[in-house]
Amino acid sequence: MQLDPEHDLLFAVNTESVKANNGAGPYNQDCAQGTITSFRVASDGTLTVADRVSSGGLFPNSLAVLGRGHDPQDPVLVYVLNAGGPGNCARMPNITGYRVNKNGQMQPVVHSERSIDPGPSSGSGVSCLAASAQGFAALTGAPTADFLCGLNPPSFLRSPAQVKFTPEGDQLVVTVKGTNTIYVFPVEANDKPGNPKIMQAPGPALPSFFGFTFDKHEHLLVTELFGTATTIPAGGKGAVSSFSVAESGGLASISSHVGDGGTAACWIALEPTAGKYAYVANNLSASISSYAVGTNGSVTLIAAVAAAASGPNDLATAAEAGASFLYVVEAGTGTVGAFQINLTNGSLIPLSAASGLPSTAGAQGLAAF
């Protein structure tokens, strides 16, 4: 889920796909298109449903939100990443755009859909059949059938991971795990994406790039599930890389594969006050790692385990009265963990957690302000 910059609207994706056998898997091929729900946010945090529309594809899993211009009547621009497909449903993964008025009503940006290539369905390296054969399903505890290609929901290993606007709002970035690629789309004057610049890591050709954020100087910080590992599964190989983003969409490497020793490095969040620290959720090793972020975009590991977290599925940061805070969805316990960030050294000071999330439903998604 994502808030608009004014904190007036909240957006959430609904995958609309279900598993067979009462959730035990394998996945259905139900071809159900996903949806997006918008909410109005009151001053006390109360949410009111504003609208719900088709996401324009299968299994939406990420949202990018760009705020209004100088005129309060200007629309918010939202792009959704639909990670499902291809397969029997005959829909490729894509990004699709929407303009949103101040009341939260969403209208599609006509002809805004752009396809994302998830990689081949068979063969070696980047294919999900090969990933299943190499045993990643055993590492995650998921049924092997869940990693076959062409299903909805998609194979975790090869699906696109995240979409986000650059800080200036003139480019859209998408990471794709299965092909180890990063797409950078220019956002044109009509709010439509142009032709993307696509960077593929030189090797190995394994699922890697996942979550990302930008530092205070607009450098791209990206998590890598397996760093430079050459086989799957690859426990303890989580890493972070950083890049500068050119106006042309080209990426220039700054720091490469800075390991954190965790397994399944997924989401990353920047400390919001000074921007000197970043935090990574290592889902399968139940930990949060901390990094120092230089003004040139370089990243250096501070602590492989800055804090423990049970099944960390997402991270968010917020600042208030000169203090910074980190929040984490702990899917394993159905709680939202909370920490104050020590602005001197980046360490995390535990605060009281909030309970009430279902611990068996894999809670995902978090927004804070």
The rounded distance, in Å, linking the Cα atoms of 146 and 160 is 16
- E strand or H helix at 133, and its extent? helix 128-133
pLDDT at 108: 97
Torsion of CA 324, 65, 15, 58, to 10 degrees: -140
CB atoms within 10 A of CB 10: 22
The mean of the pLDDT values for the chain is: 88
Answer yes or no: is pLDDT of 160 > 80: yes
DSSP-assigned letter for residue 242: E
Q: What is the mean pLDDT of residues 11-26?
A: 69
Answer yes or no: is pLDDT of 21 > 50: no
Tell me how many domains the chain contains: 1
pTM for this entry: 0.93
Does residue 298 sit in helix, strand or coil?
coil
Q: Report the percentage of the chain scoring pLDDT > 70.
A: 85
- E strand or H helix at 140, and its extent? helix 136-140
Q: Is residue 35 part of a domain?
A: no
Kindly report which listed range (18-22, 177-181, 326-330) carries the lowest average pLDDT score. Answer: 18-22
CB atoms within 10 A of CB 115: 15
Query: Domain of 274: which CATH number?
Result: 2.130.10.10
Q: Is residue 346 part of a domain?
A: no
What pLDDT digit, counting tens, does each position of 253-280 carry?
999 999 999 999 999 999 999 999 999 9
Q: Is residue 1 part of a domain?
A: no
Domain that holds residue 172: 61-322
Q: What angle do CA 150, 95, 201 make, to 5 degrees?
A: 75
pLDDT at 126: 52
Answer yes or no: is pLDDT of 142 > 80: no
Q: Is residue 235 part of a domain?
A: yes
The rounded distance, in Å, linking the Cα atoms of 344 and 266 is 25
Q: Is residue 183 part of a domain?
A: yes
pLDDT at 28: 56
Answer yes or no: is pLDDT of 189 > 70: yes
Whole-angstrom CA distances from 169 to 149, 335, 344 are 34, 33, 31
Answer yes or no: is pLDDT of 6 > 70: yes
- E strand or H helix at 47, and its extent? strand 47-58
For the stretch 351-358, contacts whose Cβ atoms lie closer than 8 Å and that sit 24 or more positions apart, written own/partner, are 351/325, 357/329, 357/331, 358/334
Asked whether 175 and 253 are in contact (CB, 8 A), the reply is no
Which two tokens mark 196? Answer: 């993307």
Q: What is the DSSP track for 7-37?
A: SSEEEEEE----BHHHHTSSBPB--PEEEEE
> Which amino acid, 330?
E
Q: Is residue 52 part of a domain?
A: no
Q: Which residue's structure tokens are 């696509």?
A: 198
Spell out the residues 6+ positions from residue 59 whose beta carbon is closer than 8 angstroms to its own: 15, 17, 34, 82, 83, 84, 85, 152, 153, 154, 159
Quote helix, strand, coil % in the chain, to nearest 5: 5, 45, 50
**Cis before 160 (ω within 30):** no
> Which amino acid, 35?
T
CB atoms within 10 A of CB 328: 27
pLDDT at 155: 74
Answer yes or no: is pLDDT of 17 > 60: yes
The rounded distance, in Å, linking the Cα atoms of 274 and 320 is 13
> Which amino acid, 201?
A
Answer yes or no: is pLDDT of 152 > 90: no
What pLDDT digit, counting tens, does each position of 222-235 carry?
999 988 887 776 88
pLDDT at 37: 98
Asked whether 47 and 40 are in contact (CB, 8 A), the reply is yes
- CA nearest neighbour of 184 among 110, 268, 245: 245
**Cis before 204 (ω within 30):** yes
Kindly report which listed range (127-131, 292-296, 342-346, 355-359) carries the lowest average pLDDT score. Answer: 127-131
Q: What is the mean pLDDT of residues 11-40?
A: 76
Q: Is residue 125 part of a domain?
A: yes
- E strand or H helix at 265, and its extent? strand 265-270
Q: Is residue 36 part of a domain?
A: no
Answer yes or no: is pLDDT of 138 > 50: yes
Answer yes or no: is pLDDT of 140 > 90: no
Kindly report which listed range (34-43, 102-111, 223-232, 310-319) carries the lowest average pLDDT score. Answer: 223-232
Kindly report which listed range (49-53, 72-76, 146-150, 210-214) carries the lowest average pLDDT score. Answer: 146-150
